[in-house]
Chain A
Amino acid sequence: NAGVTQTPKFQVLKTGQSMTLQCAQDMNHNSMYWYRQDPGMGLRLIYYSASEGTTDKGEVPNGYNVSRLNKREFSLRLESAAPSQTSVYFCASSEAGRSNQPQHFGDGTRLSIL
Chain B
Amino acid sequence: DQQVKQNSPSLSVQEGRISILNCDYTNSMFDYFLWYKKYPAEGPTFLISISSIKDKNEDGRFTVFLNKSAKHLSLHIVPSQPGDSAVYFCAAHTGGFKTIFGAGTRLFVKA
Contact = CB atoms under 8 A, between A and B. Distances in A.
Interface stretch (A14-22, A67-75, A77-85, A97-105): A97-105
A52 interface: no
Contacts of B93: 100
A61 interface: no
Interface in A43-74: 43-45, 48, 50, 56, 58-59
Contacts of B45: 104-105
B34 interface: yes
Nearest to A56: B97
Interface residues on A, range: 20 to 34
B57 to A, nearest CB: 12
A104 B43 CA distance: 8
A113 to B, nearest CB: 20
A100 B49 CA distance: 9
Interface of A: 4, 31, 33, 35, 40-45, 48, 50, 56, 58-59, 90, 92, 97-98, 100, 102-108
